[in-house]
Structure formats: C-alpha cells, structure tokens
Chains A and B, each alone.
Chain A
Amino acid sequence: DAKTTQPPSMDCAEGRAANLPCNHSTISGNEYVYWYRQIHSQGPQYIIHGLKNNETNEMASLIITEDRKSSTLILPHATLRDTAVYYCIVRVINTGTASKLTFGTGTRLQVTL
C-alpha cells in the first residue's frame, strides 16, 4: 500500500467545516483513498472512499486532486462528536489479503465550542 502523510493534529470550531488533508504522492492507479476515524475507546469506523472522482455521503465529502497525489476529507458542519483520530489509507479493493488496512498515525481532530 502507498504511504500517506497527514498532519498530526487539527482544531476546528463546532459548526464550521473541518478540512483534513492527506498526501499520497506514490499512489498507484488501482489504489483507492479510504478514510476511517477512531473515536476514543472505540473501533475504527469507515467514513468514505474514492478512486478519482469526488465523493459525498451522509458523513463527509472526499475531494481528490486530479493527479490523485492528495485528497481532503471535509466534514461540512463539525460537531463535538466528530472529535476523533482520522486515518487516510490507500489500498486496492479486492477480496483477498490485500484488503487489509495499513494505518498510519492519522490526524487528531479536536472540535471545540
């Protein structure tokens, strides 16, 4: 899996958009960008993933640059419950052992009042 680089921590005011960047300059053509988050004392939770097009779901939006070397996860209206560690992971999609996730250090997002 390609390595990713994320800032170690970020702050965001409640109600504002949280924009979490991720660099993945060595991503290969068949690798997807995945985002997971881990709220304190819980297992990681899937947020969103994409290949090259921007994606949106009920939790977040994912913006992938045209060269696919970086991406941004956007939480449009952050709440205190969004305080967590956010992991950006690149991987292939298949049903075999390559489906494993390799976690980096992630970004610790602190949402404040």
Chain B
Amino acid sequence: SAVISQKPSRDICQRGTSLTIQCQVDSQVTMMFWYRQQPGQSLTLIATANQGSEATYESGFVIDKFPISRPNLTFSTLTVSNMSPEDSSIYLCSVLLTGGLAGDYTGELFFGEGSRLTVL
C-alpha cells in the first residue's frame, strides 16, 4: 500500500489568486495523477504527472491553468492559477504502485484524502 499526504487539506482563497497543492508519497511510484471533484460530482482526471517531463493533460484542462510539477518519484504539485469560484472543488492526488512480487500486481490506484478548495 501507499500513504499519500496532501497539503493543504483545505483552503479558502480569493478570486484571481493561485494555490499550490502538494502530494507526498511514502514510496517511489511510477504514475501519479491529479483529479478534481466538483461539489456533488464524480471525479474528473486533470492530468498525469510525469517524472522529469511535462504533464499529460486531459481534454478541457491546460497547463497555464493547472501547472504540474513532479521533480522526483515521491512528490508532485498541482497549482490552480488565477482562481475563480468555479474552481471550488476537491483536488485529489492518486498514485499507481508497480512494485512487489510478480502476480501481486493489481493495478490498484491509491488516493490521497484530497484538498478542499473554496474560492470566494
């Protein structure tokens, strides 16, 4: 399993500002993903955070709005830029573990507890 820590757990921000969310994992992982969950909605994938290269964004999400860094195999950040009230959501970090014995690999993704962002 993996322990994923996200900071901040929640924040209230003003319109037009930016906020950086951190995701720290207690073991090296190959894949890291960032999701958004708007109030009352399901999870939507924002991007795949690639170690050492630019993130891969899903349709509808762009780097200027959601810049992502992944400097190593245990850490990533997501920035929500120039925020508006529509950006009020829970942002979740997710990781894929590929270690372990052959046959134990389940393809399971582990999720952090999320960062609840409110934009006024």
Q: How far is the CA of A105 from the CA of B4 in the complex (A)?
A: 24
Having A45-B111, A103-B35, one finds 10 other A-B pairs with CB under 8 Å, namely A43-B4, A44-B111, A46-B108, A46-B109, A93-B105, A95-B96, A96-B31, A97-B31, A101-B45, A101-B109
Q: Which residue of chain A is the closest to B112 with respect to CB atoms?
A: A43
Q: Chain B nearest CB: distance from A97 CB in Å? A: 5
Q: Which residues of B contact A (CB under 8 A)?
A: 4, 30-31, 33, 35, 42-45, 48, 56, 92, 94, 96, 98, 105-114
Interface centre among A41, A43, A95, A96 (most CB of B within 10 A): A43
Q: How many A residues touch the partner, as a band?
A: 20 to 34
- Tell me if B98 and A87 are in contact (CB < 8 A): no
Given contacts A43-B112, A43-B114, A93-B107, contact A100 B42 (CB under 8 A): no
Q: Is A104 an interface residue (CB 8 A)?
A: yes
Contacts of B110 in A (CB 8 A): 46
The 4 closest A-B pairs by CB, nearest first: A43-B111, A93-B107, A103-B43, A46-B108
